[in-house]
Copies of this chain bind each other. A is one copy, B any other.
């Protein structure tokens, strides 16, 4: 069975190499440039070979989507240790925004693009978006912990979490899509995008804080 094993490993290897090539193209040249043919050229195989390892393009895109969430969770890891729920909530927001600024392509793939969600609905049973669920659960738990400390009185934790997510996502989405940029040097002065979002985030934190 040694040979069979080696073959399997070799096969898994190529699957991984395809994803690595896709990631490289995606991060250096963007989504548009990540074509099956270019991935094939990158790993020096024929385009059709890729279809032996991934069902279709959306399958590869979804795998990248998942890699993005792995990266995000790595960023969240240290926040687990913050004991004060409110501090943790603030840090969570800041970390989320930082991620979007540092990895705009990943952010778009994870929270803006329709393709991965469509892939999910078509290919996965019960269409469960586990990656999104895990992130939201962390946020929801933090909000609930905050309620135990007297924050968000008379408000539903789910709705508070949803509002907070939407708020921060809105800022990040406007940033990665370029809408914020197009707005900036028209409406405001020299204040840069990062600073603008920082200030908007402060307003949100102010709101959250004043619920105690």
Interface residues of A, Cβ cutoff 8 Å to B: 111-114, 117-118, 120-121, 127-130, 132-133, 136-137, 140, 155-156, 158-160, 162-163, 165-171, 173-174, 177-179, 181-183, 185-188, 196-197, 199-204, 206-208, 210-211
B158 touches A188 (CB 8 A): yes
Chain B residue at minimal CB-CB distance from A128: B186
From the candidates B136, B163, B178, B188, name the one contacting A183 in the complex (CB within 8 A). B136
Within the oligomer, what is the number of copies of this chain?
2
B162 touches A132 (CB 8 A): no
Query: What distance in Å separates the Cβ of A120 from its nearest Cβ neighbour in chain B?
Result: 6
A200 and B162 contact, Cβ closer than 8 Å, known pairs A112-B112, A113-B177, A170-B167: yes
From A113, A158, A168, name the one whose CB has the most chain B CB atoms within 10 angstroms: A158
Q: How far is the CA of A199 from the CA of B165 in the complex (A)?
A: 13
From the candidates B114, B128, B181, B203, name the one contacting A159 in the complex (CB within 8 A). B203
B118 touches A178 (CB 8 A): yes
From A129, A202, A211, name the one whose CB has the most chain B CB atoms within 10 angstroms: A129
Hey, which chain B residues are within 8 Å of A165, CB to CB? 170, 174
